[in-house]
Amino acid sequence: MPLNLPGNVCVIGLQWGDEGKGKIVHWMTEPKGPFGGFDLVVRFGGGANAGHTVVVGDQKFAMHLIPSGILWPGVTAVIANGVVFDPETALNEIDELQARGVRIDGNLKISTKAHLVMPYHKLEDRLSEERLGKGSIGTTCRGIGPCYADKATRSYGIRIAEMYDQARFDERLQQIVDAKNRTFKALYGRDALDWKQIRDEYRRYADRLAPYICETTEFLHRALRDNKRMLFEGAQGSLLDLDHGTYPFVTSSNCTLGGLFAGTGLPPKALNTSLGIIKAYTTRVGAGPFPSELTNDTGQQIRDRGGEYGTTTGRPRRTGWFDAVVGRYSADVNGTDVLGVMKLDVLTGLDTLRIAVAYRHNGRRIDFFPTDVHVLKDVEVEYEEMPGWQEDLRPIRRQQDLPKPAVNYLRRLQELMDRPISIVSVGAEKTETIALTL
């Protein structure tokens, strides 16, 4: 079943994250697999807020920072400059992977330019959320927002390379922690953090990480010249994009396609195919608008059947019907060429399926996704209904064996999103997948 996704491919979630990108990336990077394999798998944004679950036989890997492609021999995993890098999480992940027999040495490259997530970022994230109370964003409390904020304001951001200039690192850290302590004290009445303790901790991290640190922009350009094949692994989902998502209920990076270029230093012509991943229904973790949300038994049924609990935080995910207004908007923003639909098996047993096809706001019909949360909170959703199916889809491997209503559902999604669906997933294992030509 060779699948034609030519050249360098970017995998991007078109909803609010958790679309199942981890499974697809793992499968696509399989050497000699149906996609022809990849030499490099590259993360370009986000941080340890991401959670990619990969199932290999009876083993389950939950990865937050290290690209899942590393599980295949011969694939090099790159954490590029756009990522905010939490050394503690990364080292725990490396230890766990190595303990389970995964080789990690020259096959992991971490950018000198990626910014470090520091203990005060995580603290700031948590305290700020607590302070906002009901109005909180519902972040993962991994320090993502405060770290990107420091990167943008420049005075307090620390790049990975700086850990290797000890005198300079110490001087800056002392100044930064002093400033952070003043803020913590004034805003939250907190005791001061000890900069020396942080310094010692980060010195240990620097020593352990040294073999992996790399000028990844140069490395990636060399790989491009050498015709190495690259897969770019998007984190989060398009509706969580800082600019194009449901601001302020978003993450702090550009997780749409644009983020790839800033987050790696590669030009647009380095990319050949934009693969958009959608779940057959919709989920969201954290606060913010979700027009097609289900708060009834059907929503709970989808949550239970789909195991919709966060990989990073364990929080129950909000669930809802597939929203084609969201899907088409995201596909446009990401220049999606081809779609992969995940977790179709979860919808088995529902008599009727609904698809959001447009919104109404103040009597006006809207079919282009309005990212303004003040508009979104008041929209009425226009649904189309389709008959469901009762058959278990998990054992099915060929398009012709899918129940007719499932094929019709996929056809309708394809029509509404105006792009071909070429992959459908019916289980967590990479083999539980069907290639489609609808």
CB of 418 to ligand IMP, least distance (A): 25
Task: Please list every residue from 44 through 103 that binds ligand IMP, using CB under 6 A.
Answer: 49-51
CB of 62 to ligand IMP, least distance (A): 11
Q: CB nearer to ligand IMP: give 265 or 286.
A: 286
Taking CB under 6 A as the criterion, the residue among 142, 151, 412, 430 binding ligand IMP is: 142
The answer to whether residue 286 forms part of the interface with ligand IMP (CB under 6 A) is: yes
Piece in contact with ligand IMP (CB under 6 A), picked from 109-117, 138-146, 157-165, 411-419? 138-146
Task: Please list every residue from 144 through 163 that binds ligand IMP, using CB under 6 A.
Answer: 144-145
CA distance 202 to 215: 20
Q: How far is CA 408 from the centre of its chain?
A: 29
Angle between helices 195-209 and 87-99 (to 10 degrees): 40
Q: CB nearer to ligand IMP: give 144 or 410.
A: 144
Secondary structure (DSSP) of 218-282: HHHHHHHHTT--EEEE--S-GGG-TTTSSTTSS-SS--STHHHHHHH---GGG--EEEEEEESSE
Q: How far is CA 145 from CA 60, 118, 249, 420, in A?
A: 29, 12, 12, 35
Taking CB under 6 A as the criterion, the residue among 177, 285, 342, 344 binding ligand IMP is: 285
The answer to whether residue 278 forms part of the interface with ligand IMP (CB under 6 A) is: no
Q: How far is CA 115 from the centre of its chain?
A: 18
Q: CB nearer to ligand IMP: give 240 or 436.
A: 240
Q: CB nearer to ligand IMP: give 107 or 330.
A: 330
Taking CB under 6 A as the criterion, the residue among 84, 114, 116, 137 binding ligand IMP is: 137
Q: Is the peptide bond before 370 cis (omega within 30 degrees of 0)?
A: no
CB of 35 to ligand IMP, least distance (A): 23
Taking CB under 6 A as the criterion, the residue among 33, 119, 138, 370 binding ligand IMP is: 138
238 near 15, Cβ under 8 Å?
yes
Q: CB nearer to ligand IMP: give 84 or 396.
A: 84
CA distance 88 to 83: 15
Taking CB under 6 A as the criterion, the residue among 17, 20, 299, 427 binding ligand IMP is: 17
Q: Which of 26, 52, 115, 121 is catalytic?
A: 52
Taking CB under 6 A as the criterion, the residue among 10, 15, 18, 379 binding ligand IMP is: 18
Q: CB nearer to ligand IMP: give 65 or 347.
A: 65
Closest-CB residue for ligand IMP?
286
Q: What tokens does 164 get?
A: 């290797």
* Closest by CA position to 381, among listed 299, 300, 325: 325
Q: CB nearer to ligand IMP: give 134 or 225.
A: 134
334 near 274, Cβ under 8 Å?
yes
Q: Is 18 a catalytic residue?
A: yes
Q: Is 52 a catalytic residue?
A: yes
Q: Which of 18, 125, 241, 345 is catalytic?
A: 18
Radius of gyration from C-alpha coordinates of the chain: 22
Q: CB nearer to ligand IMP: give 233 or 337.
A: 233
Residue with tokens 């019709």: 408
List Cβ neighbours of 394 (8 Å cut-off, separation of 6 or more).
Answer: 345, 426, 427, 432
- What string marks each residue from 237 to 276 as x (binds ligand IMP by CB under 6 A) or -? ---x--------x-xx------------------------
Strand partners, 54: 61
CB of 232 to ligand IMP, least distance (A): 16
Strand partners, 59: 56
**On the CB side of 304, how many CA atoms lie within 13 Å of its CA?**
8
* Cβ neighbourhood burial of 170 (10 Å; 0-12, 13-18, 19+): middle
User: Residues in contact with ligand IMP, total (CB under 6 A)?
Assistant: 20
Piece in contact with ligand IMP (CB under 6 A), picked from 80-88, 137-145, 160-168, 172-180? 137-145
Which residues does the annotation mark as catalytic? 18, 52
Residues in the site for ligand IMP, rule: CB under 6 A?
17-18, 49-51, 137-140, 142, 144-145, 235-236, 240, 249, 251-252, 285-286
